[in-house]
Amino acid sequence: MADAEKPRTPLLDELEKGPWPSFVTEMKKAAAKKGSAADLLRQLERSYENKRGHWKHGGIVGVKGYGGGVIGRYSDSPEEFPNVAEFHTFRINQPSGWFYTTEALRKLCDVWEKYGSGLTNFHGATGDIILLGAPTANLQPCFDELSDAGFDLGGSGSALRTPSACCGPARCEFACFDTLDLCHELTMAFQDQLHRPMWPYKFKIKISGCGNDCVAAVGRADFSVIGTWRDTIQIDQEAVQEYAGAGMDIRAVCEGCPTKAITWDEQKRQLSVNADECVRCMHCINQMPKALRPGRERGAAILVGGKAPIVHSPLMSWVIVPFIKVEPPYTEIKELLLKIWEWWDENAKTRERLGELIIRKGMRNFLKAVGLKPVPQMVHHPRANPFYFWDPEEVDLPKQALPEEVTS
Amino acid sequence: MPRTDIGPPKYSEMLPPVIKKNYGRWKYHEIPRPGVLKHVSESGDVLYSIRVGSPRLLSIDFLREICDLADKYSGGYLRFTSRHNVEFLVSEEDNVESLLAELEQRGLPVGGTGNSISNIVHTQGWVHCHTPATDASGIVKVVMDDLYEHFTHMDLPAKLRIALACCINMCGAVHCSDIAIVGVHRKPPKIDHDLFPKVSEIPTVVASCPTGAIKPVPKLKSVEVNEERCMYCGNCYTMSAAMQIIDPKTDGVAIFVGGKVSNARSGPMFSRLAIPYLPNNPPRWPEVAEAVRNLVQVWAKHARKGERMGEWINRIGWERFFKLTGIPFTEKHIDDFNYAMPTFRTTVNFKW
Ligand code: HEM
Ligand code: HEM
Ligand code: SF4
Ligand code: SF4
Ligand code: SF4
Ligand code: SF4
């Protein structure tokens, strides 16, 4: 490209300084090849001058057979930046755990070079591959070639969002179940929910193999699956000695235990865990992965309701199933999801996420609707007020016919 | 006809042979040096993951460059982490040093493991979203430049997870981060009464407001906002382009601290308000960089080994946090939204 056409970006140039790799450099590389990337750079420079975004409010675009997956984006100054007058985004469903062959990545690059700006996000915060910026006319042919290359759209709008999972058993010794497979199987089972928005709002599924929660499931998924175990931590005493021999302060590790379940006998040089007290927080295992491992009876806890602040406040997910075995074909988990969606779809107002609906309707009603029995693992502590409900049947039934929970 | 609903590529086709062979059989891992994870399998096989920071907003040239590196050193396999890092999955130990050397030569930072800052999870900002109160990539670049040494060295008390969202929609787990940088608006929406009837439905806009601040004005086929009730969330702007919430003069950045998602030691925690407002000063947001640096330095100086930001604050107490960081405590810090009550103190145990 001739020098005269090169975008002049004195403010953004400041962001090419410093040791961290620069997104401005990335944009310039793309701008050298594509008019749209060059106009994006010019428009961003304008944003840096006047401290505001220059994208119009929304716009509905798409490809045949889908209700989402492509996000419409139009510049608010198309005369000035004609090449980003239409600059739409593809959300592309990533492989579970974000593993790639270079062959697959190169195919993606080739298609995007042909039809788009050449700019991407690896990855969007939801987990998708984001292909950033194509004109409307290119959307269908671009999708067709992406599909030929083996890729499909992710979710957007009032639909299931692309589920995502930590690297799990592929690369992590802490994984309590196969996060990658569960993520893939749920994605495949719920293609319709992902691709054809039909709900009050979005719904996110995130899957972490242990309590370290590397995909932040508890903070941002309506349905969070987090690995755990039922029995006792496995200890390799020899490996403990090795850590101690190498200078690790084992007592300090034990002090970090929230329930003081793990203790170090300095004399015998023995580590022991009181299984009844352990809450499986992962702290000691993180510190001594060579010596400690989760127990053998492994599975996951299921939590629901997590979300960002819009509309009523941020929420973290709440435990509704403290332990479940996670094994293919994952029938129980799929059925639970379908029951949750049915209740949510029936009861929620527009833009009411599952967590907010549970607050409005009461956890009691939610648990009943999805058929889960109350257990103490669901709460930090019981209520302090006396304002609880009884079903009329519970109160009026003859004594001998009372349900077990009430009589015992 | 293109095929629809084929779903993502199957993960198993994307895994290197050493992972296929040792799937679910990893025994333990070590961190031989910052940015390098060494996983050892029960079979004795070893996998090195070399973690590299990226700006997330990538050109296909960058992608092809890392593909070339992966072809050369990791058998054509790589992955990305949930925090936008690239990981080369190297099964031959001999390749580790040569890959590290080539990464250094190309200026790509290796790090983000153990007690370090990992890459910043962030959103679109002025690059590609329609509601931002600030830019995303720009602030991230500045903060990572500033904390670069803590990415490449594992010299912090514990992990440090920073996230940035350019508006309070907070895409990503911003609200559960050690340090959360959030774009905020500070003025009620400006209503364009001519545009309103063309792009909006009155009932949906009225219903969108969490504080009930919006009332219909039938005469204008528009609405009005009770400005005293508005906390500038921008929900109504999502519903109607005529409710402009962006104001370049008064928009800016807030900083929340002390959140985490992991269950290790203490349970997951929300990030809580530390600094209600800092101005947007592109291109390098000096006030934001300075504020983050101060938070990291005070935490690094006072926390015990292994203590995440929130765990440290819980131990010393928020009153001490404000004292040590020198951040003024204001009425903004006292919650007056939906779930405020549990944040008020109900004991006379406190510090000075
Ligand atoms: C009554 C009208 C509307 C409602 C209730 C509405 C609601 C929403 C909601 C809740 C989101 C949240 C993001 C998500 O769930 O992914 C969203 C995103 C979005 N809206 Fe709207 N919106 C409306 C009108 C519009 C209009 C008129 C446009 C464009 C002309 C638009 C464009 C978008 C875009 C591009 C996104 C992001 C895409 C996505 O992630 O789905 N919206 N909208
Ligand atoms: C009412 C409000 C919302 C609107 C209008 C909205 C709109 C949008 C838009 C337009 C984008 C795409 C940006 C782009 O690529 O151009 C987006 C991305 C996203 N949104 Fe929202 N959003 C809303 C609420 C939320 C909430 C509440 C969450 C989280 C719980 C959320 C999570 C995300 C995530 C994770 C992304 C991907 C961002 C990235 O990878 O950078 N959104 N949203
Ligand atoms: S969440 Fe647990 S199992 Fe998954 S990658 Fe993180 S530490 Fe490993
Ligand atoms: S997993 Fe956590 S609770 Fe259990 S023994 Fe280890 S540190 Fe203690
Ligand atoms: S945080 Fe807000 S402004 Fe930023 S990308 Fe998400 S919706 Fe857009
Ligand atoms: S910005 Fe939020 S609080 Fe203010 S009027 Fe709009 S919806 Fe209501």
Instruction: Kindly give, in sequence order, each residue whose CB lies less than 8 Å from that of residue B92, ignoring residues fewer than 6 positions away.
Output: none
Compute the Cα dihedral for A221, A225, A226, A230 and give only its sign.
positive
Residues of B in contact with A56 (CB under 8 A): 130, 241
B163 Cα: distance to centroid of ligand 6 (angstroms): 25
What pLDDT is attached to residue B171? 73
ipTM: 0.94
Closest-CA residue in chain B for A20?
B145
User: Using a CB-CB distance cutoff of 8 angstroms, which residues of chain A are in contact with residue B259?
Assistant: 219
**Which is more confidently placed, B340 or A171?**
A171
- Would you call B20 exposed, middle or buried from its count of C-beta atoms within 10 A (0-12, 13-18, 19+)? exposed
pLDDT greater than 80 at residue A4? no
Alpha carbon of A189: minimum distance to chain B alpha carbons (Å):
9
Ligand 1 centre distance from Cα of residue A200 (Å): 12
Query: A interface mutation test: which of B59, B159, B260 has the most A CBs within 10 A?
Result: B59
Tell me which of A202, A204, A310 to substitute to probe ligand 1's pocket, judged by most ligand atoms within 8 Å of the beta carbon: A202
Band the pLDDT of A391: cuts 50, 70, 90.
Answer: confident
Instruction: Tell me which of A32-46, A385-399, B156-170 is least confident.
Output: A385-399
Banded pLDDT at A407 (limits 50, 70, 90):
very low
Ligand 6 mean position, distance from CA B128 (Å): 23
* Lining residues, ligand 3, CB within 6 Å: A 166-168, 172, 174-175, 208-210, 212-214, 227
CB B231 near ligand 6, within 6 Å = yes
pLDDT tens digits, A245-275: 999 999 999 999 999 999 999 999 999 999 9
Measured between alpha carbons, how far is A119 from A32 in angstroms, rounded to an integer?
12
Percent of chain A with pLDDT over 70: 96
**Beta strand residue intervals within chain B, DSSP E:** 26-33, 36-41, 46-52, 57-59, 77-80, 86-90, 121-122, 162-165, 179-184, 190-191, 214-217, 222-225, 243-244, 252-257, 272-279
Contact A171 B13 (CB under 8 A): no
Q: Which of B35, B116, B29 is nearest to A289 (CA)?
A: B29
Q: What is the mean pLDDT of chain A?
A: 94
Q: Is the CB of A116 under 6 A from ligand 1?
A: no
A284: closest CA of chain B, how far (Å): 8
For chain A, percent of residues with pLDDT exceeding 90: 88
Q: Is the pLDDT of residue A178 over 60?
A: yes
Closest residue in B to A292 (Cα–Cα):
B28
Inter-chain touch B6–A152, beta carbons under 8 Å: yes
Q: What three-state secondary structure class fits B168? A: coil
What residue type is A307 in one-letter code? K
Structure tokens at A148: 């030929």
Ligand nearest to the CA of A197: 1
For residue range A206-221, list pLDDT tens digits in order.
Answer: 999 999 999 999 999 9
pLDDT of A386 over the 90 cut: no
**Cα distance between residue B94 and residue B106, in whole Å:** 19
Alpha carbon distance, N-terminus to C-terminus of chain B: 71
Task: Judge contact between A361 and A310, C-beta under 8 A.
Answer: no
User: Chain A closest CA to B108's CA: distance in Å?
Assistant: 7
Q: Is the CB of A262 under 6 A from ligand 4?
A: yes
Most confident region among A53-62, A141-150, B167-176 by mean pLDDT: A141-150
A65, closest residue in chain B (CA to CA): B4
DSSP states of B222-285: EEEE-TTT-----HHHHH-TTEE---TTT-EEEEEE--B---SSS--B--EEEEEEEE--TTT-
Confidence band for A400, pLDDT divided at 50, 70 and 90: low
Residue segments in chain B with a per-residue pLDDT below the cut of 50:
none
Which residues, 6+ apart, have CB-to-CB distance to A182 below 8 Å? Answer: A165, A207, A225, A326, A330, A333
Give yes or no for residue B108 CB within 6 A of ligand 5. no
Rounded to the nearest angstrom, the minimum Cα separation between B95 and chain A is 17
Atom 3 of ligand 6: nearest residue by CA position: B230
Pocket test for ligand 3, best of A173, A182, A213, A282 (most atoms within 8 A of CB): A213
Q: Which residues touch A47 (CB under 8 Å, ≥6 apart)?
A: A53, A54, B126, B135, B282
Chain B residue whose CA is closest to A26: B59
Whether residue A403 is predicted with pLDDT greater than 90 in this model: the reply is no
pLDDT score of B346: 84
pLDDT band at A393 (very low <50, low <70, confident <90, very high): confident
Residue of minimum CA distance from atom 4 in ligand 6: B230
User: Which residue out of A121, A131, A162, A202 has the highest number of ligand 2 atoms within 8 Å of its CB and is therefore the one to mutate?
Assistant: A202
Ligand 1 close to Cβ of residue A7 (< 6 A) = no
Residue A408 pLDDT: 44
In this structure, the residue with its CA closest to atom 7 of ligand 4 is: A257
- What pTM, to 2 d.p., does this model score? 0.87
**Ligand 2, atom 18, residue with closest C-alpha:** B171
pLDDT at res. A1:
45
Average pLDDT score over residue span A347-358:
94
Task: Output the six-digit token pair for A34.
Answer: 């594509």
Residue B14, exposed/middle/buried by CB under 10 A (0-12, 13-18, 19+)?
buried
From chain A, the residues in CB contact with B125 under 8 A are: 53
Which ligand lies nearest the alpha carbon of A282?
4
Gap between the Cα atoms of A288 and A283, Å rounded: 9
Q: Atom 7 (ligand 3): residue with closest C-alpha?
A: A212
A58 lines ligand 1 (CB under 6 A): yes
Answer yes or no: do B280 and A56 touch at CB < 8 A: no
* Closest atom of ligand 6 relative to the B245 alpha carbon: 1
Q: What is the mean pLDDT of residues A123-140?
A: 96
B58, B79, B170 member nearest A26 (Cβ) = B58
